[in-house]
Copies of this chain bind each other. A is one copy, B any other.
Amino acid sequence: MPSYTAPVKDMQYVLHDVLGISAQDIPGYADLDRDFTAAILEEAGKISADVLAPLNVVGDTEGCRMENGIVYTPTGFKDAFEQMKEGGWPGIDMPEEYGGQGMPYIMNTAVGEMFSGANQAFTMYQGLTHGAAAAILAHGTEEQKNTYLPPMVATDWTGTMNLTEPHCGTDLGLMRTKAEPQADGTYKITGQKIFISAGEHDMADNIIHLVLAKITGGPEGIKGVSLFIVPKFLVNTDGSLGPRNGVSCGKIEEKMGIHGNATCVMNYDEATGYLLGQEHKGMRAMFTMMNEARLGVGMQGVAQAEVAFQNALEYAKDRLQGRDVTGPKNPDGPADPLIVHPDVRRNLMEQKSFVEGARAFLLWGSTLIDRAHRNSDADADGLVSLLTPVIKGFLTDKGYDMTVQAQQVYGGHGYIEEWGMSQFTRDARIAMIYEGANGVQALDLVGRKLAQDGGKHVMAFFDLVKGFAKDNAEVDGMAEFLEPLKKASKDLQAAGMYFMAEGMKNPNNALSGSNDFMHLFGHVCLGLMWAKMARASLAALAGGTSDPVFHETKLATARFYMARQLPMTGTHLARIQSGADTVMALDAANF
C-alpha cells in the first residue's frame, strides 16, 4: 500500500526562505512566523499521514453506494471526518465570527495540499463545503450568513455546487433548471443537475446545495441565471432542522477515479430555494471565489503528483533491477536499485522539479489572493486572475502527466491496483476537467485575461520577471538561472506579441495557440519559481546554513528544470506562431 509523508520541510522553505511571508505587509501574515507555521503544518501532516492516507485505497476500492436514497461513504470516512472537524481544519481560513480560525488563505493552500495528497476524494467533501460557504459569505444576507455559515464552517453541514446539466456544462446559458418565484419570496426549484460532488452522503446533518437556475420569465441565456441556496433539510428559524426539501440523489456515477467521493445526479422537484445575491447575477455569485477554487484544483494536481512521486522514489530506491552502466552501485546485492539508471532519474527529476516548483507557484499565488482580499489590492487581484488559468490548467495537466510517469517507475506493478499507483493517476485525471476544463482555462487566459485592463496585468508579470532578473543580475551564481528564465520569458512575450498582431486579423490565430500559451506561461512561472528558490538557497549557503545538503539539492533541481524543462517554451512558441491555418483547415465533415 502506498504511503504519504507531508512535505513540511519544503513548505516551510517556500513560506519563509523563498516568500518571507511573515515580513509581508498583508494583514495576518505577521503571525505566520516559522514556529507557528511549523506547528500547523506538522499537525496537518500528522492527520494526513495517519488518518487520511490509510483511507485512500479504502475509498477507491469500496466507493460510495446508495441504498434507498441514502448514500453511504466508504468505511472509516465518517470517523475521519469527525477528526478533521475536531481539529478545526475545514474552517482554517474562515472568519472567526462564524467559528473559523481566521488564518490567511495561504495556510489553507498549504494544509489543503497535504489533505488532497493523502486523500483527494475525502478532502473534496470539505473542499466543496468551503467553496459554498465562501459564496454565502460573499453574497449572503446577514440572516443567510448567520443561518448557514456556523454549521458549514464546522462542517456539521456540508455544501455543494450545482452547475452542470446533462446537456450543458461549459455553456451554462443553455441550462433548463427553473426557479418559480413564490409569494413568500422563496422559489420553487425544478430540474436535474449532474456531476454533483458530495451531492449526498452520510457524514453531515444537512447539505446546503448552491444551485444555478433560471427564474421564470427572466432574460434568455446566461443573463437569466440566478444562484439559490437549496438545503437538503429546511432550516427552522432557531437553526434546527425542519422537513426534508424536494431534492434527492438520482444515482451515483461510476467514475474513473475519486471513488470515495459521491458524484451525484441531483433531482430538484419544486424544492424550496432562497436567492443568493441578486436576481440574474448567479454566474457572478457562483464565481466570486473562482480564483481560489481554481487554485485549489491546481493544488490537487500537484498534490497527486507529490504523493505519486514519493512512492515512485521509494520504489526506485528499493527495487533491484539491472546494473549501473558505469559500474555496480550495490555490488554485494543481486542487482542495483532502479534509481541508478539515467532514464529512471530523468523521470524522477521531472517529477521532483515539477512538484517543488509548482508548490512554490501555488503558495506565491496564494499570497496574491491574500493581498487582493486582505489589502484590497487591485493589482494583486488582476495578476492572480491572469495566473489562475495557468495555475489550474498547467498544474493539473502536468500533475496528471507526473502521476503517469510515477506509475511507469513501477513497471507492471504500476498497472495493477495492488500498489496504489493506478489510483493516483485515475484520481488526478479529474482535475483537468472540473472547475472549468483545461481547454476553457486556456480560452479564459488568451481570450479574456491577457487583454484585461488593457493588458496591464501581463505587463506587470513581465515587469516582475525583469525586475527579479535585474535585481539579481550581480548575485554570484545566479546567471545560470537567470539566462534560461529570460529566454523563456522572451518566448512568452513573443507569443503575446503574435496574438496581438495576428489575433486582430483573426481571433482563431490566438485561440488555436491557447493551450500552448497556457503551457508556455506555466513553464515561465515555474522557471521564475526555480530562479527564486535558487536565489534563496544561494543566500542560505552564503549565510552558512546548517543544512547545506538541502540547499545544494534545491540548486541541482533548479538546474535540471532550466536545462530539461524550460526548453519546451521554444516548441510552444513555434506552434503558436504557426497560426490557425493548419488547425482550422478542415471542414468538420472531412475530419
List A224-271 residues whose CB lies under 8 Å from chain B.
Answer: 253-257, 263
Interface flag for A191 (CB, 8 Å): no
The answer to whether B430 touches A345, judged by C-beta atoms less than 8 angstroms apart, is no
The answer to whether A169 touches B341, judged by C-beta atoms less than 8 angstroms apart, is no
The answer to whether B417 touches A256, judged by C-beta atoms less than 8 angstroms apart, is yes
Residue A588 contacts which of B171, B337, B411, B432 (CB distance < 8 angstroms)? B337
Assembled-state Cα–Cα distance A125/B348 (Å)? 34
Say how far A66's CB is from chain B's closest CB, in angstroms: 15
Interface flag for A216 (CB, 8 Å): no
List A475-496 residues whose CB lies under 8 Å from chain B.
Answer: none
Interface string of A545-559 (1 = CB under 8 A from B): 000010011001101
Assembled-state Cα–Cα distance A557/B582 (Å)? 7
Residue A326 contacts which of B174, B407, B411, B506 (CB distance < 8 angstroms)? B506
Interface string of A354-368 (1 = CB under 8 A from B): 000000000000000
- CB-CB under 8 A from A352, the residues of chain B are 591
Residue A578 contacts which of B195, B512, B515, B564 (CB distance < 8 angstroms)? B564
- CB-CB under 8 A from A340, the residues of chain B are 588
Most chain B CB inside 10 Å of its own CB: which residue of A342, A433, A559: A342
Say how far A161's CB is from chain B's closest CB, in angstroms: 13
Assembled-state Cα–Cα distance A447/B324 (Å)? 13
Interface flag for A425 (CB, 8 Å): yes
The answer to whether B195 touches A586, judged by C-beta atoms less than 8 angstroms apart, is no
Assembled-state Cα–Cα distance A416/B259 (Å)? 11
Interface flag for A542 (CB, 8 Å): no
As for how many copies of this chain the complex holds, the number is 2
Interface string of A193-216 (1 = CB under 8 A from B): 011000000000000000000000
Say how far A574's CB is from chain B's closest CB, in angstroms: 4
Closest B residue, CB atoms, query A174: B334
The answer to whether B556 touches A171, judged by C-beta atoms less than 8 angstroms apart, is no
The answer to whether B425 touches A437, judged by C-beta atoms less than 8 angstroms apart, is no
Most chain B CB inside 10 Å of its own CB: which residue of A345, A560, A563: A345
From known contacts A415-B256, A559-B585, infer whether A326 and B433 are also in contact, taking CB-CB under 8 Å. no
Say how far A22's CB is from chain B's closest CB, in angstroms: 28
The answer to whether B342 touches A169, judged by C-beta atoms less than 8 angstroms apart, is no
Interface flag for A349 (CB, 8 Å): yes
The answer to whether B571 touches A345, judged by C-beta atoms less than 8 angstroms apart, is no
The answer to whether A169 touches B570, judged by C-beta atoms less than 8 angstroms apart, is no
The answer to whether B553 touches A582, judged by C-beta atoms less than 8 angstroms apart, is no
Interface string of A570-583 (1 = CB under 8 A from B): 11001100101111
- CB-CB under 8 A from A557, the residues of chain B are 586
List A426-466 residues whose CB lies under 8 Å from chain B.
Answer: 426, 429-430, 432-434, 437-439, 442-443, 447
Interface flag for A102 (CB, 8 Å): no
- CB-CB under 8 A from A256, the residues of chain B are 415-417, 422, 425-426
The answer to whether A411 touches B575, judged by C-beta atoms less than 8 angstroms apart, is no
Say how far A576's CB is from chain B's closest CB, in angstroms: 10
Interface string of A90-109 (1 = CB under 8 A from B): 00000000000000000000
Interface flag for A164 (CB, 8 Å): yes
Stretch from A31-39, A75-83, A138-146, A314-322 at the B interface:
A314-322
Assembled-state Cα–Cα distance A591/B345 (Å)? 10
- CB-CB under 8 A from A411, the residues of chain B are 169-170, 433, 437
Kindly list 15 other residue pairs between chains A and B, CB separation below 8 angstroms, not including A346-B515, A346-B583.
A171-B322, A173-B335, A195-B416, A253-B418, A255-B415, A317-B588, A337-B588, A339-B591, A345-B512, A349-B583, A349-B586, A408-B437, A562-B582, A570-B570, A570-B571
| 7 A-B pairs in the complex with CB atoms less than 8 angstroms apart | A169-B411, A255-B422, A343-B442, A343-B512, A408-B438, A415-B430, A564-B575
A-B pairs, top 9 by smallest CB distance, nearest first, are A563-B578, A567-B574, A342-B511, A256-B422, A560-B582, A556-B585, A254-B417, A171-B321, A342-B512
